[in-house]
Amino acid sequence: MSSSPHDPAHDDRDLPPGDLQEVSENVFAYVQPDGSWWINNTGLLMGRTGAVAIDSCSTERRTRAFLGAVGAVTERPVRTLVNTHHHGDHTHGNHLFGGATIVGHEQTRAQVLAAGKPNFPGIWTPVEWGEIELAPPFLTYTEGVTLWVDDLRCEVRHVGTPAHTTNDSIVWIPERSLLFSGDLLFHGGTPFLLMGSIAGAVQVCEEVLAPLGATTIVPGHGEPAGPSVIDDVLGYLRFVTDVAERGRAAGLTPLETARETDLGEYEGWLDAERIVGNLHRAYAELDGAERGAQIDVVAALRDMVEYNGGRPLSCYA
């Protein structure tokens, strides 16, 4: 059994704010340490007449900090906001981008509306969400759309199958060999597939992300990385698949299997309790469920709390 490597009940540290890292000329990653639960990365692309943002943040405070960082490097307004998927750490702050066109997959819009405002009693340590207003994408696509920042081509692509969620998109900038992956990739944190598909995530890593040949990758959580982060995530996904097959064959529940599993090289990754949610998804797929099929998310989250010693999951958002 393993729990989060950090626990607010025993750690009163205050995480520093995110910072803008220029990953290519006029293209920035806004990286929020430490990349754990609800602490995501966003992006900024600066043009001559306006800027493009990639994702917002989980809370009002964090999104305002991101906007403050944007204002420190450009006086131009954010005219376009791209959402890589529907999860609240990437969409809760959408409403603070006044006047921006919010772009996302059609299912990102549907799932933002279906999820509603944050309400997770007993799952995570307390979070000050602030004044959250739902603001789903209102310019949607099914496969993708090309976004231009001056003369820089940015390809916003749906990945074609459930993976992290049912509605994941990437932002690929071929001229710069630069990829914003959303939560298809985590760097230093445990991937989370509860609302998507293990098999789908493997396929996306192998058939969509790796062939791009990106030299710089901005993951959804964690520091920017090179292409090796794809192999790291693939290794974890295959590990989960193997553990699920053995646990199910032994007649164990996902929680029982997780408790008996040595995480090995993945034990030090943030939010290790995600193994339980990932096993819930893997079991469903082994039982014949389609990728992205509805499963009992609340039961899986409660099992994750049980795995964490009955304590709410650590969240610094």
Kindly report, residue by residue over 52-103, the tens digit of the pLDDT: 999 999 999 999 999 999 999 999 999 999 999 999 999 999 999 999 999 9
pLDDT of residue 49: 93
> pLDDT tens digit string along 105-119?
999 999 999 999 999
Whether the pLDDT of residue 302 is over 60: the answer is: yes
User: 8-307 belongs to which homologous superfamily?
Assistant: Ribonuclease Z/Hydroxyacylglutathione hydrolase-like (3.60.15.10)
User: Residue 118 burial (CB < 10 Å; 0-12/13-18/19+)?
Assistant: middle
> pLDDT tens digit string along 254-263?
999 999 999 9
pLDDT of residue 1: 40
Closest CA to 166 of 145, 141, 195, 142: 195
Could you tell me what percent of the chain has a pLDDT over 90?
95
> pLDDT tens digit string along 193-210?
999 999 999 999 999 999
Predicted confidence band of residue 188 (pLDDT cuts 50, 70, 90): very high
Whether the pLDDT of residue 48 is over 50: the answer is: yes
Question: Which of helix, strand or coil describes residue 83?
Answer: coil
Kindly report the length of the chain: 317
| Angle value at C-alpha 309, between 303 and 311, nearest 5 degrees | 85
Average pLDDT rounded to a whole number, residues 200-227? 98
pLDDT of residue 4: 46
Close Cβ partners of 70 (under 8 Å, ≥ 6 residues apart): 20, 44, 51, 53, 78
CA distance 61 to 171: 25
pLDDT of residue 6: 54
Predicted confidence band of residue 8 (pLDDT cuts 50, 70, 90): very low
Whether the model clears a pTM of 0.85, i.e. scores above it, the answer is yes
pLDDT of residue 17: 84
C-alpha pair distances (Å), 304 with each of 19, 188, 242, 274, 300 = 31, 19, 19, 7, 6
CA distance 197 to 289: 10
Whether the pLDDT of residue 13 is over 80: the answer is: no
Whether the pLDDT of residue 12 is over 60: the answer is: no
Average pLDDT rounded to a whole number, residues 25-48? 98
CA distance 253 to 57: 34
> pLDDT tens digit string along 117-144?
999 999 999 999 999 999 999 999 999 9
Tokens coding 200: 């789908």
Establish whether the linkage from the previous residue to 34 is cis, with ω within 30° of 0. Answer: yes
